[in-house]
Amino acid sequence: MMKRLILFFSLVTLCSCNSNAQKANEKVYKVNKTDAEWKAELSDLSYYVLRQAGTERAFSSVLNNNHDTGTYVCAACNTPLFKSEYKYDSGSGWPSFDREIKGNIEYSVDFKLGYGRSEELCATCGGHLGHVFDDGPKETTGNRHCINGAALKFIPKKDE
Ligand SMILES: [Zn+2]
């Protein structure tokens, strides 16, 4: 009986390892690192957001209130993703932009909350950034790119 149980549990472990491996192999990005490498490089919060598609607490990022001129790059691979001129205060508690830097962001759909949301990923490393909604500023694009500050690094214009 015990032997059978052990066999059962090792089968379960085996299966879950397999599905993780498959998931990681879905797409190869230009910047491609193992989970252990990302974990060692990123802060705990950035790892949680970028690599585990987590969401930081609203109003927790210093970038939410950042009004300086410059570029927001991916915290994992430094790809330029958003420009400060398209940042606006959405009141959501997350850094918000009405448009992205074209070509540097990839879109996919996630159903985590039970309905489809347009997920935004860094096109260079596949890191999760946030979501895009259609309740942005009407006078410009109408889009609200709702991005986790932990997924971004801000490069002030003078340092570019
Ligand atoms: Zn990236």
Active-site choice (74, 77, 122, 146): 146
Burial of 84 (0-12, 13-18, 19+ CB in 10 A): middle
pLDDT per position as a tens digit, 81-95: 999 999 999 999 999
- Residue 146: active-site member: yes
Gap from CA of 106 to ligand 1 centroid (Å): 10
Integer Cα distance of 66 and 138 in angstroms: 22
Q: What is the mean pLDDT of each run of 10 residues along the chain (160 residues)?
A: 56 48 67 97 98 98 97 98 98 98 95 90 98 96 98 90
Gap from CA of 127 to ligand 1 centroid (Å): 5
Gap from CA of 30 to ligand 1 centroid (Å): 9
